[in-house]
Amino acid sequence: MIQQYFTELQLKVGVTLSEGLEALVNEAEGELESEYMEVVQVIKHDPFHYTVILNVDYPDDEDEKEEEDEDSGDGSGSKGGSSKKK
């Protein structure tokens, strides 16, 4: 499942936007415990202040999705059971 986060980035003198974004993503990966992180948008307020929008994908939901797919497989089996009644 992908969740969206908004955060503020304040650059120090001599730090490029690229360096600031890299540090932000590395910190967010550690805090949010996700390997997949995407910078969706960077909104500049002035030369040193930015709002950054991140998409974060949590792999736990993939496991739940696989379980749901298995459940739907059981449902198709019950359809087969209803055809046997005919």
- Averages of pLDDT over runs of 10 residues in the chain (86 residues) are 94 96 93 89 97 88 58 53 42
What residue spans define the domains of the chain? 2-77
Q: For residue 3, how many other CB atoms are within 10 A of its CB?
A: 12
CATH number of 2-77: 3.30.1660.10
pTM above 0.85, yes or no: no
Q: Which pLDDT value is given to residue 59?
A: 73
What tokens does 23 get? 């540090």
Name residues whose C-beta falls within 8 Å of residue 30's C-beta, 6 or more positions apart in sequence: none
